[in-house]
Amino acid sequence: MHPKNHITVQFPGDLMEYSWMRPKDTGLNVDIFVDDGGAYIRHGEPLLLWVRNGYEKAVGEFIPISVSSIPEILDDSITCHLKESDIQAVRHFIVINMILLREFANRRISHIEFFDAIRNSSVSSNITRIDLDDDNYYFCALSGDKTGLPLTIYIDQGRFVRSLKHTLWVYIPVCYDYIETVVPITVDDNPRLLCDPDKLKVSMDDIQTIISFIKVNRKHLENIADGIEDIVEFVNSLEKT
């Protein structure tokens, strides 16, 4: 088993166990290689993807990044030759596509299904199920270009009903750059941010904008969580207003 923070890959041999995804597939500026058949199990590693450590195809060094709610580089010894913004974009890609990446790695979806889901540039590409924690509460990510909000928000599709742990929440990220972690806002008569706002790198004006959105759309959010309303129809209605 590799040490946690020194996972390496031999190019090109080890990457035969991964699917190559080019920028045209992902919208990223770099090539990534994703587990398509349980390589992480065979090698005793956490689930991860490999990022080419450069922008030319000749580059044979790769950066391992964990597929998790807080994606981290799993090789402390590597020198990154990518722009920080591109690394952040990969982290964001992992978070919003985490369920797809897990399903693909565990052979629960086919290559065609996986690549079609990632490539799809319609509404569904901005409504992505993510695993916000280890208790399998799945949410839909709605990007700002669909809602008009300054941040991506995460809409509950009914897991709270099964959990019996809390009332209905909408999640927001703690910063603008990428989804490092998320915090909840209640969906009720008086939406409340359930954390200390001083811990966020998000302006209070933007938080208030999201709270106003929740107030206006409370019934829709409740119906989506209860399985009464389709989230794609909701997003389409937002685009028309």
Q: Given this model, what pLDDT does residue 136 score?
A: 41
CA 21/CA 62 separation, integer angstroms: 13
Q: Which helix (H) or strand (E) holds 179?
A: none
Distance of alpha carbon 147 from alpha carbon 210, whole angstroms: 10
d(CA 172, CA 156): 12
In the beta sheet, which residues pair with residue 111?
none
pTM above 0.85, yes or no: no
Can you give the pLDDT at residue 13?
Answer: 57
Tens digit of each residue's pLDDT, the chain (241 residues): 344 465 666 545 568 889 999 988 888 889 999 999 999 999 888 999 999 999 998 898 999 999 987 899 998 889 999 998 889 889 888 877 888 899 999 999 899 888 888 876 333 444 444 455 544 446 788 888 889 999 989 888 776 555 444 568 888 888 876 555 778 888 988 898 887 777 788 899 999 999 999 999 999 999 988 888 888 889 888 866 6
**β-pair partners for 138:** 131
Q: Give the start-end residues of each E strand in the chain.
A: 18-21, 32-35, 48-52, 62-66, 127-131, 138-142, 153-156, 169-173, 182-186
pLDDT value, residue 124: 40
